[in-house]
Amino acid sequence: MYNPQSGSNEAVNTNVCQSCGRITLKHDGAGSDKKQGLIFLILGWLFFVISLVFIPILFGAASFLMGFFTFHDRSKAHGVVLMMFASVGLILGSLFSFMVSGTLFL
């Protein structure tokens, strides 16, 4: 914890300053609550949309990977949803490209 009055860092699980006795505030840089990885989320949904129309094997796998990173870094529920959509995008994109061009690569 960071005490803005005395400018000192305190032990993590205390809320009272060791030097002056005032209640400490949480420092801006401490404790991010796992809200990182927004770029993985954005790229995952972008790769999902691309996998529906262009090289579904590559972009579907990339979307699944971004979903895994989202699961690990940001939100477990959103990561699972993104991985499920990536799997569906890979399958639907593959079927669509096979119907249109006769190959799995469009």
Q: Rounded to whole angstroms, how far apart are CA atoms 90 and 83?
A: 10
Q: Rounded to whole angstroms, how far apart are CA atoms 49 and 41?
A: 13
Q: Are 64 and 93 in contact (CB under 8 A)?
A: no
| Structure-token pair, residue 82 | 């993104």
pLDDT digits (tens, 9 = 90+) for 39-97: 888 899 999 999 888 888 899 999 999 999 999 888 889 889 999 999 998 898 888 88
pLDDT score for 7 = 65
- 24: confidence class by pLDDT, cuts 50, 70, 90: low
Q: What amino acid is encoded at 85 in this protein? A: F
pLDDT score for 30 = 47
pLDDT score for 11 = 54
Q: Rounded to whole angstroms, how far apart are CA atoms 2 and 28?
A: 9
- 29: confidence class by pLDDT, cuts 50, 70, 90: very low
